[in-house]
A and B are shown apart, each in its own frame.
Chain A
Amino acid sequence: MQDVNLTITAGGKTVLLGPNGAGKSLIMRLCHGLLAPTAGRITWAGGPIAWARDRQAMVFQRPIMLRRSVAENIEYPLSLRGFGRGLRRQRLREALQMAGLTNHANLPARLLSGGEQQRVALARAWVIRPEVLLLDEPTANLDPTATGAVEQVIEEFAQAGVKIIMTTHDLSEARRLADEIVFMHRGCVAEHQPARQFFGAPQSREGKAFLAGQLSW
């Protein structure tokens, strides 16, 4: 990463777009507190990022399913936080319904398809009521049908007022979902604009090349 000065505000869906190796996933992990920067600061509403961990949830490109049922996977973050049984069950029901997984509750999570596992990961994020949902290429390994189902769940989060920050290198997905675009290239933020402006008239040379399909890394 080089000279990254970025402010992401509440509300809407911010998509980090760029070719492979641009630094999108790295930014996500820094924002989520999984990595510490070697220089500079990352703050949350002016305070240290560590304070924000409970207010964020992250869904990875390949989410890890614990060796237990779908329901137990979704309840896991709540049990970590010491939630009582009654509240756990209530939030589990809501999350299963939101993600369309009610009929899968007792199935071993590792036996589900990739798209279904991604929905379990989203339900697992839903139960902790995050203010921000970080998604690192959540549909990269999914077919169009599964992608559509996952994007529908992401939309549920957005409508519930959760800030969405998502990485993708898929232009069509970015066009579908983004309210604003942070375009990255080789560790730098090349552009940060509302989505309509970026796709209509990109300012940077790299942005133009990427939209023209001339920039793969």
Chain B
Amino acid sequence: MSDITQAFPLAARLLLQFDPLLREIIGLSLAVSLTAVVLAAIVGLPLGAGLALLRFPTRNFFIVLNNTLLGLPPVVVGLVVYLLLSRSGPFGFLGLLFTPAAMVLAQCVLVTPIIMALTRQQIEDLWLEYAEQLQSMGASRLLAIPTLLWEGRHSLMTCVLAGFGRAIGEVGAIIIVGGNIDHYTRTMTTAIALETSKGNLALALALGFVLITLSMVVNGTVYGLKEHALRHDLSGITAP
């Protein structure tokens, strides 16, 4: 209990002083997770929309596979990426193991199925509303993909945010492929894991509060941008 009571003032002190070490850890956490989410969105959004709209023989199999990958254990992803990037692995020549790039890759693998599955559901719902009109105007299911991704951009922002939530709070994969190296691959979550294993529970909790605050700031910023865009109906932004 004393750890919890110590954690609040410690978290406040860490934030107010903006300790250089904390700054470094926050910066890396955001850089890794945001990069992973952006890459996952680039892959997951069109794939999810394609899975929603296109018809092909193995479609049902890929939907089930996508849904199954939602529950990928992070440590398993970390292990697989580790094996791929290790010196004896097929991509060992890239020298990415124990670097932030490896962490981005691992989080990207975790987050892409989430964005893909949520996008698929959103686009399927949109297609019910738009199908007749788009087909009448000459859009095939394939051509409807970029149109519906744009039409559903407000809801899809929430899908991407869900992916960010998974990434920023993830530790199992990045601790394996990143190694939790001080000043290099140590993020908020791996620092929490380390401090907990050292018995510095108050510090670990404080870092946890900082992480939650960070996540709230990112979510609040995106929410504010979304509300602003909705209010002005994105006037002035050219549609694809």
The reply to whether chain A is a binding partner of chain B is yes
> In the assembled complex, which residues on chain B have CB atoms less than 8 Å from the CB atom of A34?
132, 135-136
B interface, over-half SS: helix
CA distance A72 to B234 in the complex (A): 13
Q: Report whether A66 and B147 are in contact in the complex, using a CB–CB cutoff of 8 Å.
A: yes
CB distance from A52 to the nearest CB of B (A): 12
> In the assembled complex, which residues on chain B have CB atoms less than 8 Å from the CB atom of A107?
235
CB nearest neighbor in A for B144:
A80
> In the assembled complex, which residues on chain B have CB atoms less than 8 Å from the CB atom of A53?
138
Give the size category of B's interface with A. 20 to 34
Q: Report whether B138 and A80 are in contact in the complex, using a CB–CB cutoff of 8 Å.
A: yes
CB nearest neighbor in B for A109:
B233
Interface membership of B223, Cβ < 8 A: no
Interface membership of A199, Cβ < 8 A: no
- Binary contact track B200-240/A, C-beta < 8 Å → 1, others 0: 00000000000000000000000000000000011100110
Q: Report whether A76 and B137 are in contact in the complex, using a CB–CB cutoff of 8 Å.
A: yes
Give the size category of A's interface with B. 20 to 34
CA distance A77 to B111 in the complex (A): 35
Interface membership of B76, Cβ < 8 A: no
| Most A-side CB within 10 Å, residue of B130, B132, B134, B234 | B132
Q: Report whether A67 and B233 are in contact in the complex, using a CB–CB cutoff of 8 Å.
A: yes
Q: Report whether A66 and B233 are in contact in the complex, using a CB–CB cutoff of 8 Å.
A: no
> In the assembled complex, which residues on chain A have CB atoms less than 8 Å from the CB atom of B129?
64
- Binary contact track A71-87/B, C-beta < 8 Å → 1, others 0: 01000110011000000
Q: Which of B137, B233, B239 is close to A77, meaning CB atoms less than 8 Å apart? A: B137
> In the assembled complex, which residues on chain B have CB atoms less than 8 Å from the CB atom of A29?
132
CB distance from A171 to the nearest CB of B (A): 27
Q: Report whether A111 and B233 are in contact in the complex, using a CB–CB cutoff of 8 Å.
A: yes
Segment among A1-9, A55-63, A91-99, A161-169 that sits at the interface with chain B = A55-63
> In the assembled complex, which residues on chain B have CB atoms less than 8 Å from the CB atom of A54?
138
CB nearest neighbor in B for A111:
B233
Q: Which B residues form the contact surface with A (CB < 8 A)?
A: 129-130, 132-139, 143, 147, 150-151, 153, 233-235, 238-239
A sample of 22 cross-chain residue pairs with beta-carbon separation below 8 angstroms, ordered by A number, consists of A29-B132, A32-B136, A34-B132, A34-B136, A57-B136, A63-B133, A64-B130, A64-B133, A66-B151, A67-B150, A67-B239, A68-B239, A72-B238, A76-B137, A77-B138, A80-B137, A80-B138, A80-B139, A81-B138, A106-B235, A108-B233, A128-B138
